[in-house]
């Protein structure tokens, strides 16, 4: 979450030095997220708090990153909005609904794959932004306009694929939530039927 604030400041400042810092923010976020989960599992320190807060921290970071790309005109805003919508549904609807059933919904493999794609895409776009700062030097050797147009296509394509995967990754959570809600209703109905049966026997 702290890295999200650092990324906004450094990327929008848009000097070569700050863009390099922004790039390493994405790399550090990727590594710290992996190591956090690895050591939690290795030392058997997985907790309900971690199951909730870890994906929430990922959501804050990556939504901030892609909205920052939109604010810097690297990608259009409409291409960044799927990330925001996905995380709003996940953290304001799906997880609270699961908690009402007394359950904590951990990250699924599809969610981890989605996060990996977000890491790679964020790092790639940050790296391409750094390369652009060498324009005045590179233009001495070749016409950079075509190269940077290709960069734009790569950036848009990477974000579009990652956005589609992000939206698709919410489906298994919705399916599981529906299953849990149905199982909860069946359990409640069974308990109610058993209570009625006891009442009849007592009478």
Convert the pLDDT of each residue in 52-90 to its tens digit.
788 888 889 999 999 999 999 988 899 999 999 988 888
Q: Output 181 or 86, whichever has higher pLDDT.
A: 86
**Average pLDDT value for residue range 128-136:** 86
Q: How far, in Å, CA of 24 to CA of 119, rounded?
A: 11
Enter the tokens of residue 144.
């950079």
Residue 51 has pLDDT above 80, yes or no: no
% of the chain exceeding 70 in pLDDT: 87
Q: How far, in Å, CA of 134 to CA of 102, rounded?
A: 54
Tens digit of pLDDT for each residue in 154-171?
A: 888 889 999 998 888 888
pLDDT at 112: 78
Inter-axis angle of helices 109-132 and 48-71, to 10 degrees? Answer: 30
Secondary structure element (H or E) that encloses residue 172, with its range: helix 170-202
Inter-axis angle of helices 77-89 and 144-168, to 10 degrees? Answer: 20
Question: At 200, is the pLDDT very low, low, confident or very high (cuts 50, 70, 90)?
Answer: very low
Please, what is the average pLDDT of the chain?
A: 82
pTM, 2 dp: 0.80
Return the number of other C-beta atoms located less than 10 Å from residue 98's C-beta: 18
């Amino acid at each position: 979450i702290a890295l999200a604030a650092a990324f906004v400041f450094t990327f929008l400042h848009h000097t070569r030095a700050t863009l390099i810092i922004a790039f390493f923010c994405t790399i550090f976020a990727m590594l710290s997220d992996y190591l956090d989960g690895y050591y939690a599992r290795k030392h058997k320190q997985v907790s309900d708090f971690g199951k909730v807060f870890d994906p929430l921290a990922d959501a804050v970071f990556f939504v901030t990153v892609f909205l920052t790309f939109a604010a810097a005109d690297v990608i259009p805003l409409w291409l960044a909005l799927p990330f925001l919508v996905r995380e709003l549904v996940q953290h304001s609807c799906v997880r609270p609904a699961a908690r009402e059933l007394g359950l904590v919904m951990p990250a699924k493999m599809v969610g981890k794959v989605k996060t990996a794609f977000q890491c790679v895409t964020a790092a790639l776009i940050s790296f391409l932004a750094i390369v652009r700062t060498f324009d005045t030097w590179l233009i001495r050797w070749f016409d950079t306009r075509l190269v940077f147009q290709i960069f734009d296509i790569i950036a848009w394509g990477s974000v579009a694929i990652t956005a589609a995967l992000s939206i698709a990754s919410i489906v298994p959570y919705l399916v599981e939530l529906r299953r849990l809600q149905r199982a909860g209703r069946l359990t409640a109905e069974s308990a109610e039927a058993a209570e009625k049966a006891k009442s009849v026997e007592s009478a």
